[in-house]
Amino acid sequence: MAVNSPNSPRQKMINLMYLVFIAMLAFNVSVEVLDGFEMVDNSLRDSSGTMMERNRLIMDELTTYHAQNPEKAGEWYRKGVQIRSMSDSLIAYIDALKVKMVREADGKKANIHHIKNKDHLDAASIVMLSPLNGEGKKFRNSIDAYRDSVIQLVTDPARRTIIEKNLSTKPQLTNKSWEASLFEQMPLAAAITMMTKIENDIRSSEGEALTNILHNVDIGDFRVNRLNAYIIPESDIVMQGSSYNARIVLSAEDSTRQPHIVINGDHLNMAENGSFSVRADRTGTFPVEGYLEMTGSDGKVTRRPFESNYTVIEPIATIAPTLMNLLYAGIDNEVSISVPGIAPDDVDATITHGTLTRRGNMWSVHPTAIGENVTISVSARTAAGEVRHVASKEFRVRALPDPTPYIEHRDANGNPMMFKGGGLQKAALMNAGEIKAAIDDGILSIPFRVINFRTIFFDSMGNAIPEISDGNRFSERQKDQIRRLTRGSYFYISGVRAAGPDGTEREIAVMEVRVM
């Protein structure tokens, strides 16, 4: 009698090929999404460079005031140097973490500016969340220490609030730490972009602190002699259809006077208090340039030019099932849906040919039918309150794979065991009393209901003796046959019919049992 044993070399090879196929599907991340993260990362780094230059100019002013009047400016100058030093140290630490992540994915010769494995899902988790030497908690504590130290040096309550918001490490999810919500199962390209965003926030907070320190210096006549204009955008990255928002300010403001501002050829209304907004209807990089004029007490007009740019990108979103790049009918498939720069609560999604339910920061997808593809559409609410369609993605829907029959028993220590074929003690067989079935391949873990099965024993002449079960339990005749078996004899469990959560019934693999 020919039996396809699950321990045969042929079956082992089939199982191995299945696992390799699943692994390939699991890492099938969209190239467009990864390239989108790289584009955002590049723009954030450009923005950080602009803020570093702005902060350097402020420090240059502090240095000048200190040189001219160290008694008045000395205290504020030392605070500025302290903030600058703390910022540089924290950003150097972030850059080192980036290198470790990229090397984890690409090897020792990895290049942070040319990442090969952008879709690597484990590199960020290993570096930041490893139980033994993960840097996540240390990184969070470093940000908290930096934020608290900088706030102590800032006197303006409004700027302190901005810094606290920029560098908040409060977890967005109640069941996850701040670092886990950022780096757990995060593609390498997205993790690097998030680290660059944090660097950007640090430079922005440094600028708020240095500006406040500069305003606290009693510079007297220097206010007129050292006017500088800056354009401060809310963000250099703008989603198509939303607005680019920025504020034009002097490096040393005088609350009793309002400067005259010309931007992109148009005069800015004085009532706007330096705030500037333009709608982003097209993708690309666009200039923002002009000049600021201030009339001094002597009637002399001082003009300072400014220039910057902003980038408008196509809306992007990440829609990824946590198991693989397909969905199974009849079960709830866990899917991660996120939009860079948008809070999870401001992201919504709909589905065709199925149901979609939000579960915390994850989503549960339940397809309607096998073979009928589903499309998930994502929308996001922008800071201006607009609801925008961001992206759509189609998924294939497959039937669940066949489960494996097993006999549940306990080892000598009382731990539950799953016997799937081979040798088993007669006592364990008699105590088990039933056959179970489940998909348990390391990716899926789904129980099936066994409807019935048959056993095939052999008499002394080699003749097969089939016996039918009582549902999923051994019948009395089957138990009698098992009692008669001697050590080393064997029998087969075949014709196992099982029903899955998708409602379909199927006959699954044969199991060989050898009595020990």
Answer yes or no: do 49 and 188 share one domain: yes
**pLDDT exceeds cutoff 90 at 333:** no
How many other C-beta atoms are found inside a 10 Å radius of the C-beta of residue 254? 13
What gap in Å lies between CA 493 and CA 507, rounded to an integer? 12
Average pLDDT (127-148) is 90
In the chain, what is the straight-line distance between the N-terminal and C-terminal CA atoms, in Å?
A: 22
CATH number at residue 323: 2.60.40.1080
What percentage of the chain has pLDDT greater than the value 90? 20
Residues 336 and 425 in one domain: no
**Residue 448 pLDDT exceeds 50:** yes
Q: How far apart are CA 88 and CA 100, in angstroms?
A: 19
* 344 in a structural domain: yes
- Structural domain including 299 reads 228-314
pLDDT at 368: 85
What's this model's pTM, rounded to 2 decimal places?
0.41
CA distance 494 to 425: 20
Same domain, 141 and 269: no
Cα–Cα distance measured from residue 335 to residue 319, given in angstroms and rounded to the nearest whole number: 7
- Strand-pair partners of 399: none
Burial track 507-516 (b if 16+ CB lie within 10 A, e otherwise): ebbbbbbebe
From residue 196, give the alpha-carbon distance in Å to each of 52, 113, 344, 411.
Answer: 14, 12, 20, 51
Instruction: Note whether 209 and 87 are same-domain residues.
Output: yes
Q: Do residue 232 and residue 275 come from a single domain?
A: yes
Q: Does residue 10 lie in a domain region?
A: no
Which of residues 342 and 124 earns the better pLDDT score? 124
pLDDT value of residue 284: 74
pLDDT of residue 298: 55
Q: How, if at all, do strands 362-367 and 333-338 pair?
A: antiparallel
pLDDT at 145: 93
Residue 50 pLDDT > 80:
yes
Question: Is residue 11 scored above 60 in pLDDT?
Answer: no
> Which pLDDT band, with edges at 50, 70 and 90, does 220 fall under?
very low
- The sign of the dihedral angle between the CA atoms of 329, 334, 337, 343 is positive
Contact 182, 340 (CB under 8 A): no
Q: What is the pLDDT of residue 351?
A: 92
Last residue of a domain, one of 274, 289, 314: 314
175 shares its domain with 39: yes
3-state DSSP helix/strand/coil % of the chain, to nearest 5: 35, 30, 35
What is the count of structural domains for the chain? 4
Average pLDDT estimate for 80-105:
91
How distant, in Å, are the alpha carbons of 13, 21, 398, 441 from that of 16? 5, 9, 20, 11
